[in-house]
Amino acid sequence: MAFATFLLVLAALAGGVLTALLTNGTLSVASLFGLLAVLGIATRNAIALINHYQHLEGVNGESFGSELVLRGSLNRVAPTVMSTLTTALALLPLVFLGNTPGLEIVAPMAIIIVGGLIISTLLNLFALPALYLRYGASREADLGLQLVPGPVATD
């Protein structure tokens, strides 16, 4: 699941860079800070979703399967979408007023954050549940893979 999270974060970063290239092509130091913000938000959302799946399975005792993933995804839709919407709404004035003197530095950062958040949210809501369903290990399977200690060798 760490590899799936890593792939989703890379895709979110690629979405931010693609958005910057499609809008004005400016990649600056400020836009690199935007990539760091996207990295943090995408990672937090992915980890929160995976932890919720594991919580439903471990604490609530639900069996691993499509019902677990569906319930976990539906529980996390509102927090994920709301964090994306509030961040995007706060940055939209910077995106639209980017040509105003004084904002030309932060506008590319805002564009990257908004684009990366859109890609990250879509991947978090649709791709991560599918990856968890395919590659997520249930607690019982994890316990079954533990090695049983053999006889202790003595000198």
Q: Which of 137, 110, 99 is nearest to 37 (CA)?
A: 110
Q: What's the whole-model pTM score?
A: 0.79
CA atoms within 13 A on the CB side of 11: 16
Q: Are 57 and 139 in contact (CB under 8 A)?
A: yes
CATH architecture of 2-137: Up-down Bundle (1.20)
**From first to last of its 155 residues, what are the pLDDT tens digits of the chain?**
888 888 888 888 888 888 888 887 667 888 889 899 999 999 999 999 999 999 998 888 888 888 999 999 999 999 999 999 999 999 999 888 877 888 888 888 888 899 899 999 999 999 999 999 988 865 445 544 443 444 444 44
SS (H, E, C) 62-83: CCCCHHHHHHHHHHHHHHHHHH
